Structure 1
Amino acid sequence: MKKITRTLLVGISALVALGTLSACSGGSSNQATSSSETPTTATTTAAPTAFPASGRYIADMTAPDGKTMTIGISVDGDQVAAYACNGTDDEAWFFGNQADGKIDIKSRFRDTLNAKFDGANVEGDLNMNGVAYQFTAAPVSGEAGMYTAELDGIRASWVVREDGSAIGVQFGTSSVGDITQAEIQQLNDAQFRAEVRNKRQLQQAQQITRLSNGKMSSKINGQDVTPTLVNGSFRLG
């Protein structure tokens, strides 16, 4: 009888020990699963990327009417000049400064340009005549960039791509009537577009070509002009 009792006690002790090991093993497994289900992640905010000392960038965008809207951007130090046009009846110049790789400037006709440098390209938003565009402008070199020329109060401007193709608009006069600057300031954006912005006389610019001497050439109203390359410090008078 004592032998049987001793055997039972040994068996019970073994079962208790086995149960204890199983419980410890199960706890470790649950902790690992919980950790894998809720991993700890660190969130970081990328610092703005500064522009190089000098750079030129170009992007083509498609307008709702199917026309191509093209923008050229030139940066020199903290100074920025940009020009956007559709090659027929719309254009805008933008002048201002960039800071920490970011651009936020407005044209004299209330168009807006907001962009940032990502280390290679300029990505941004352009609003022209109430139409919003998104773009990624790649860096360009050589003869590519923005060009402009003026003759007798008429200005023609172009964006020349790296493949030599170009798009440009000629700006003649603006028929805003007798509206004063004080009255213009009181106009909302829709009124301004109707009564000021879209009163400009715009037309397709003449073809721009590169001569054997390396200079650019075009015509304004039939007369030869020599367009100049626009850098970030360029400003209209």
Structure 2
Amino acid sequence: MSQNRIRGPVLTLVVAAALGGGIWLVNEGQRSEPLAPQPAAAQAPAPSTTSVPAPPVPAPPAFPANATYAGEIPTKTGVIAVDISIDGEQGVAYACDGAAVDVWLRGSASDGKLNLVSADGESRLTGRLEGDAVAGTLAVGAKSWTFTAARGVDDGN
């Protein structure tokens, strides 16, 4: 009996080896030509060791030393007039619609950006210089509007 216990696993190993060898022979017979060593790929040129300097970052646009800008914001009830005056790095703006909006704003005007606030802190005007105009947002209380104000022609600059 012990002979049958050993013969089973040995027979299984022999069958598995024969089956594996047969599959290998069939695969080898399917090849049309023997494997030849592949030619070495052309080597890519080594990266250049000279570094190219990054292009300079352009300076932000600057407001003229003295300038004025004017624009209108259409609303459902009329028009809000926006007038902005730049003097050095200080900006002053007045926004009025003749009814509910009547606000003065003051603050900084540097690096082509405006950040103006009313005395009570309830209103804000932010903007940026875009060519000969200022584009931005006027916020009065909970309401806000976008605007574009063109540079005045009579400001002497």
Structure-2-length-normalised TM-score: 0.58
CA distance in 2 between counterparts of 1:89 and 1:127 reads 13
Matched positions, count = 101
Identity of aligned residues (%): 32
User: Deviation digits for residues 147-202 of structure 1, max 9, x if unmatched?
Assistant: xxxxxxxxxxxxxxxxxxxxxxxxxxxxxxxxxxxxxxxxxxxxxxxxxxxxxxxx
Cα deviation digits, residues 108-161 of structure 1 (max 9, x gap): 231011101123111111111311111110011339xxxxxxxxxxxxxxxxxx
- Quote the Cα distance in structure 1 between the aligned partners of 2:77 and 2:103: 19
Match of 2:146, SS state, is: strand
Aligned to 2:106: 95
- 1:99-110 matched pairs, under 5 angstroms: 99-109=110-120, 110=122
Could you say which residue in structure 2 is the equivalent of 1:56? 68
Determine the structure 1 residue equivalent to 2:38: none
From the CA coordinates, give the structure whose radius of gyration is larger: 2
CA contact (8 A) 1:51 1:119 kept: no
- In the alignment, the residues of structure 1 paired with residue 57 and residue 77 of structure 2 have an alpha-carbon distance, to the nearest angstrom, of 38
CA RMSD of aligned residues (A): 2.3
TM-superposition CA deviations, 1:2-57 (whole Å, max 9, x none)? xxxxxxxxxxxxxxxxxxxxxxxxxxxxxxxxxxxxxxxxx997642100111000
Deviations 1:77-99 (A, max 9, x none): 11111000101232110112211
Q: What one-letter code is carried by the residue in structure 1 that aligns with 2:80?
A: M
Flag the 1:137–1:45 CA change in 2: closer, same or farther, 3 A. Answer: farther
What does the per-residue CA deviation read over 1:57-91, in whole Å, with 9 as the maximum and x for residues that have no partner? 0010112x331011100001111110001012321
Match of 2:132 in 1: 120
User: Quick one: which of 86, 89, 93 aligns to 1:78?
Assistant: 89
Contact 1:50 1:119 in 2 (8 A): no
Which structure 2 residues correspond to residues 56-205 of structure 1 after superposition, within 5 A?
A: 56-63=68-75, 65-109=76-120, 110-142=122-154
2:113 aligned partner, one-letter code: K
Structure 2 residues not aligned, in runs of 5+ = 1-54
Write out per-residue CA displacement over residues 203-237 of structure 1, whole angstroms, 9 at most, x where no aligned residue: xxxxxxxxxxxxxxxxxxxxxxxxxxxxxxxxxxx
Q: What is the identity, as a one-letter code, of the residue corresponding to 1:89?
A: A
Which sections of structure 1, spanning at least 5 residues, go unmatched?
1-42, 144-237
Alignment of 1:8-23 (within 5 A): none
Match of 1:192 in 2: none
| Separation in structure 1 between the aligned mates of residue 149 and residue 97 of structure 2, nearest angstrom | 16
